[in-house]
Amino acid sequence: MVLYINSCVRGDSRTDRLAHAVLDKMGEYTELYLPDEDIKPLSRKMLEKRTKLLAQGDTTDEMFYYAHQFANAEKIVISAPFWDGSFPSVLKVYIENIYAVGIISRYDEKGMPVGMCSANELVYVTTSGGKYIPDFSYDYIRAIAQRCFGIKHTRLVMAEMLDIEGFDAEKILQDAINDLQQ
């Protein structure tokens, strides 16, 4: 199963358009539109509940639904526009919620995370109004996917400079889409 994690808040999102060009090459997928999901930052009460359940080895609670969905996906596509040097906060909250030891990863004898996810590839799709800087967006996702979730192959698909005067945003976006077709 391909899992499409859509964190594009705008209805006419250029990032979502680019992501759909990626998805068109993958076949059927399940979309998780994060802005419509009831995903909240972990509160003290939620964290205590999660910690207790994980210590008991009980991962059947509904709070682990997204973690299981992510861990069982064969491929993952994340769409996240480049906002304020990173990605939309709903994506960070989602990651906070899925990162459950015993589902997404486990620890080895040295205390290092060992990924437990089934996915063999994660594709990170983004667009940027100016120059794209991956430090706190794709680089973060790539590091956590490879080092903690066990997803060995990640790739970045992006279109940048979309809001710079004198640049043709539609042409830039279409060129990025066309590059995927080759």
Q: What is the per-residue pLDDT across 31-63, written as a single tens digit (0 to 9) for each?
A: 999 999 999 999 999 999 999 999 999 999 999
pLDDT at 7 over 80: yes
Residue 19 pLDDT: 98
Strands 105-107 and 113-115: antiparallel
pLDDT score for 149: 98
**What average pLDDT does the structure give for the chain?**
96
CB burial of residue 5 (10 Å; 0-12, 13-18, 19+): buried
Is the predicted pLDDT of residue 64 greater than 80, yes or no? yes
Mean pLDDT of 113-131: 97
Q: Does domain 2-181 have CATH number 3.40.50.360?
A: yes
d(CA 174, CA 163): 15
Q: Is 23 exposed, middle or buried (0-12, 13-18, 19+ CB in 10 A)?
A: buried
Question: What ranges do the domains of the chain cover?
Answer: 2-181
